[in-house]
Amino acid sequence: MSIAATSPSPTLAAPRASQSPAALRRAAQDFEAQALAALLQPMFQGLDTKAPFGGGSAEGQWRPMLVDAIARDLAKAGGLGIGEAVLRELTRLAGLPPNGDPPAGTASSSTTERPTP
What percent of the chain is predicted at pLDDT more than 90? Answer: 41
Contact by Cβ (8 Å): 95, 17: yes
Q: Can you state the percent helix, strand and coil of the chain, rounding each to 5?
A: 55, 0, 45
Does the pLDDT of residue 78 top 60, yes or no? yes
Mean pLDDT, range 15-31, rounded to an integer:
86
Give the per-residue pLDDT at 62: 86
Please tell me the total number of residues recorded for the chain in this structure.
Answer: 117
Contact by Cβ (8 Å): 50, 97: no
Residue ranges covered by each domain of the chain? 20-94
